[in-house]
Amino acid sequence: MKTFLFIAISLITFEARAAWTLEGESVDHTKLFIESNSLKIVDGLNEVLVRMEGAEPKNDLGFSYSSIVELYGFDCPHRRYKLLSAIIYSQSNMSGTSRETPIGRLGSWRNPNPKTTNEKIMGIACGGASNQNSGRDRTK
């Protein structure tokens, strides 16, 4: 319960002072943003908040949504990640009805496929080659 509460408070805090940086757009015109102030190490995981804004509403989580904010944890030495929590919004720009879907630290590990969004996010979270010259402070 304490972990869930911490994650929920963290997501709310990050959203209140968010500094979203557009990192790319997928072929279906979904825009990917990284919250630059959220990059930190917690319990050995490199955590980062990711926001996706769809051009069209999606309905694959049992809820129609246009915007989603996800908290990912990356185990950089083992090149794997897991989704820790997500908040989905019915409208774009984190507005409208929202639902939190806590996954928790017991979520399943996944390895990013090459040349995918998740590999790009891992590169940013773990300070990979795609992030070395971006000017981000990785010491926080």
pTM of the model: 0.74
pLDDT category, 51, cuts 50, 70, 90? very high
- What is the full DSSP assignment across 79-123? TEEEEEEEEEEEETTTEEEEEEEE--TTSPPB-PPTTSHHHHHHH
| Under 8 Å between Cβ of 36 and 124 | no
pLDDT at 23 over 80: yes
Structural domain boundaries in the chain: 2-125
- In 3D space, the residue among 9, 81, 18, 4 whose CA is nearest the CA of residue 45 turns out to be 81
Q: How much is the pLDDT for 140?
A: 37
For residue 23, give Cα distances in angstroms to 43, 52, 124. Answer: 26, 10, 10
pLDDT, averaged across the chain = 80
Kindly report, residue by residue over 97-109, the tens digit of the pLDDT.
Answer: 998 887 766 679 9
Q: What is the mean pLDDT of residues 18-29?
A: 88
Architecture of domain 2-125: Beta Barrel (2.40)
